[in-house]
């Protein structure tokens, strides 16, 4: 018999906050995390803004030596995991380490390290490349570091599926616990890809917004004036446990994961299926996995990247899945404030979905000035909405056609 899977800890490091509470407060307030790029001189670039994490100090989570040997994406993952593990009451005392695992996704991994070391190699030669280059750059190292820090000896891996990476991480962790292969999992994702080469690549494929004069207004999902996404950095983590495991140790249960659906577009390396077919099938698979009635869903955290094609495809998919009930949903995008965290986006947005279910408060989609008539669902434009939501979905769709939907609901015995 499949086991129930619950959430007992949350952690966030985002462009709008360094903790869960700070991020949540700013999301509800409609605060944008976008601003001029400070990590490098963007003067030569067409796009000169992003959603950077502000004020993050890794020394709050590790010593200076450890920090120097971790790429920023890994530092974000460690910080978010520490927050989640601490909230779950498990720091230093996981009951059965052999039955506790880690899956942390990243779409790109240590891009800052990669860029820095490539320059050293080209300018100074191979002997000057850091011996820590490989273990700082590889995307799976975040899961490895969390495992090492907390002595977790169960399933340990990294999911890499572009913008769906951390949604896959949570979904696979859910499946591992549900099937009995582990009792507890630390799961999530992280990205730190605001670098020159990444911005250059995305801008040259015309994926990014170019509103340099008004960065805070650039991410505008479902608006007629949208012109691309805004790149963001950060990390998100959750602690998942089997219900029996959580109850046995008296854990506070924050919510329950009740569905996981996946699909492929099989359409294009970057563009979604125009009719939203892949997104539609992921949502249907998620609902079927949990035996869920679509009419019980009250909120969808949209992938909602603020791209011309993506927002229309997702709206079309939601209508196909929910029919008339789609008009009763709020289908909102927190990316309007956080930007797009790539491999970290799915975990951040799952946390936001859980908090909607927990609090009955729905963050707005900011910057919707002129709604796109093809994106005509309620996205809570420019306003926080208070509404009881018993069941929420979180969508993540990645380059390559990777689609994931997760379902979370209020916990009830």
In this structure, the chain runs to a length of 413
Distance of alpha carbon 157 from alpha carbon 154, whole angstroms: 10
- Is the domain of 243 the same as that of 382? no
Calculate what percentage of the chain has a pLDDT beyond 70: 100
At residue 413 the predicted structure's pLDDT band, cuts being 50, 70 and 90, is confident
DSSP state of 93: -
Q: Residue 1: what pLDDT?
A: 75
Please indicate, yes or no, whether residues 268 and 234 belong to a single structural domain of this protein. Answer: no
> Would you call 241 exposed, middle or buried from its count of C-beta atoms within 10 A (0-12, 13-18, 19+)?
buried
Looking at the structure, tell me whether residues 283 and 384 fall in a common domain. Answer: yes
Residue pLDDT, tens place only, 288-325: 999 999 999 999 999 999 999 999 999 999 999 999 99
Q: Are 14 and 154 in the same domain?
A: yes
pLDDT at residue 14 tops 90: yes
Beta-bridge mates of residue 407: 259, 393
Same domain? For 227 and 359 the reply is no
Residues 205 and 263 in one domain: no
Domain match, 376 and 232 both: no
CA distances for 335 relative to 51, 54, 168, 222, 365, angstroms: 10, 17, 18, 11, 8
Residues 273 and 292 placed together within one structural domain of the fold: yes
The contacts of residue 296 (CB under 8 Å, 6+ apart) are 390, 391
Percent of the chain exceeding pLDDT 90 equals 98
- Is the torsion defined by CA of 150, 160, 272, 325 positive or negative? negative
Tokens found for residue 133? 């280059």
Contacts of 136 (CB under 8 A, 6+ apart): 69, 70, 71, 74, 110, 113, 130
Residues 6+ apart with CB under 8 A from 123: none
Average pLDDT of the segment spanning 318-341: 98
- By CB neighbour count within 10 A (0-12 exposed, 13-18 middle, 19+ buried), where does 59 fall? exposed
Last residue of a domain, one of 230, 248, 266: 248
- H or E stretch including 408? strand 402-409
Q: Tell me: do 403 and 346 sit in the same domain.
A: yes
**Residue 254's pLDDT is what?**
98
Ramachandran region of residue 373, left (φ > 0), alpha (ψ -120 to 50) or beta?
alpha
CA 412 to chain centre: 26
Query: Beta partners for 332?
Result: 301
* Tens digits of residue pLDDT in 157-197: 999 999 999 999 999 999 999 999 999 999 999 999 999 99
Strand, helix or coil for residue 253: coil
Confidence of residue 13 (pLDDT cuts 50, 70, 90): very high
Which two tokens mark 3? Answer: 């086991």
Q: Assess contact for 155 and 181: CB atoms under 8 A.
A: yes
Q: Is 382 left (phi over 0), alpha (psi -120 to 50) or beta?
A: left
Q: Kindly state the average pLDDT of the residues 143-152.
A: 98
pLDDT tens digits, residue range 210-248?
999 999 999 999 999 999 999 999 999 999 999 999 999
Strand partners, 392: 299, 408
Show Cβ contacts of residue 148 under 8 Å, excluding neighbours closer than 6 positions. Answer: none
Q: What is the pLDDT at residue 187? A: 98
pLDDT at residue 93 is higher than 90 = no
- Tell whether 242 and 267 lie within a shared domain: no
> What region, left, alpha or beta, does residue 266 occupy, with left being phi > 0 and alpha being psi -120 to 50 degrees?
left
* Tokens read off for 319: 């209508």
Q: What is the pLDDT of residues 114-140, one digit of tens each?
A: 999 999 999 999 999 999 999 999 999
CATH of the domain at 97: 3.40.47.10
178 and 154 housed in the same domain: yes
pLDDT at residue 115, rounded to an integer: 98
Domain count, the chain: 2
- Per the CB < 8 A criterion, the answer to whether 76 and 232 are in contact is no
Q: Residue 180's domain spans which residues?
A: 5-248
Element housing 397 (H / E): strand 391-398
Select from 248, 282, 308 the last residue of a domain: 248
d(CA 271, CA 172): 25
- CB under 8 Å to 363, separation ≥6 — which residues? 27, 28, 30, 332, 334, 337, 352, 356, 380, 384
Structure tokens at 400: 């390559």
Domain boundary among 231, 248, 265: 248
**Residues 64 and 44 occupy one common structural domain:** yes
User: The pTM is what?
Assistant: 0.98
Q: What pLDDT was estimated at residue 92?
A: 74
Q: What is the pLDDT of residue 386?
A: 98
User: Is residue 405 a contact partner of residue 286, using CB atoms and an 8 Å limit?
Assistant: yes
Give the mean pLDDT of the chain: 97
Catalytic residues: 163, 303, 340
């Amino acid at each position: 018999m499949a086991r129930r899977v619950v959430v007992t800890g949350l952690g966030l490091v985002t462009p709008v906050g360094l903790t869960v509470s700070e991020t949540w407060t700013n999301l509800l307030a409609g605060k944008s995390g976008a601003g001029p790029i400070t990590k490098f001189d963007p003067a030569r670039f067409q796009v000169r803004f992003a959603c950077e994490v502000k004020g993050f100090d890794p020394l709050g989570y590790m010593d200076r030596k450890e920090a120097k040997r971790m790429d920023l994406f890994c530092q974000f993952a460690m910080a978010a995991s520490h927050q989640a593990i601490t909230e779950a009451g498990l720091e230093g005392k996981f009951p059965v380490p052999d039955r506790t695992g880690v899956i942390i996704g990243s779409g790109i991994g240590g891009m800052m390290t990669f860029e820095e070391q490539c320059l050293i190699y080209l300018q100074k030669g191979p002997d000057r490349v850091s011996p820590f280059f490989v273990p700082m750059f590889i995307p799976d190292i975040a899961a490895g570091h969390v495992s090492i820090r907390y002595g977790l000896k169960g399933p340990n891996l990294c999911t890499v599926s572009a913008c769906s990476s951390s949604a896959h991480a949570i979904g696979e962790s859910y499946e591992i616990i549900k099937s009995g292969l582990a009792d507890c999992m630390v799961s999530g994702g992280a990205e730190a890809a605001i670098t020159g080469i990444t911005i250059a690549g995305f801008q040259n494929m015309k994926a990014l917004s170019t509103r340099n004069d008004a960065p805070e207004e650039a991410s505008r999902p479902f608006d007629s004036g949208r012109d691309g996404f805004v790149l963001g950095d950060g990390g998100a983590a959750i602690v998942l446990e089997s219900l029996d495991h959580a109850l046995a140790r008296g854990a506070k249960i924050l919510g329950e994961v009740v569905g996981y659906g996946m699909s492929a577009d099989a359409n294009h390396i970057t563009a979604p299926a125009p009719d939203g077919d892949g997104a539609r099938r992921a949502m249907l698979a998620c609902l079927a996995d949990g035996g869920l009635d679509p009419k019980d869903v009250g909120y969808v955290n949209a992938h909602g990247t603020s791209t011309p094609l993506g927002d229309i495809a997702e709206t079309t998919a939601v209508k196909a899945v929910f029919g008339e009930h789609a008009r009763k949903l709020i289908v909102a995008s927190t990316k309007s404030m956080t930007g797009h965290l790539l491999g970290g986006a799915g975990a951040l947005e799952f946390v936001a979905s859980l908090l909607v279910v927990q609090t009955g408060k729905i963050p707005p989609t900011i910057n919707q000035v002129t709604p796109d008539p093809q994106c005509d669902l309620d996205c809570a434009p420019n306003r926080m909405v208070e509404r009881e939501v018993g069941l929420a979905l979180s969508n993540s769709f990645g380059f390559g056609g990777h689609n994931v939907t997760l379902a979370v609901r209020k916990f009830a015995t």
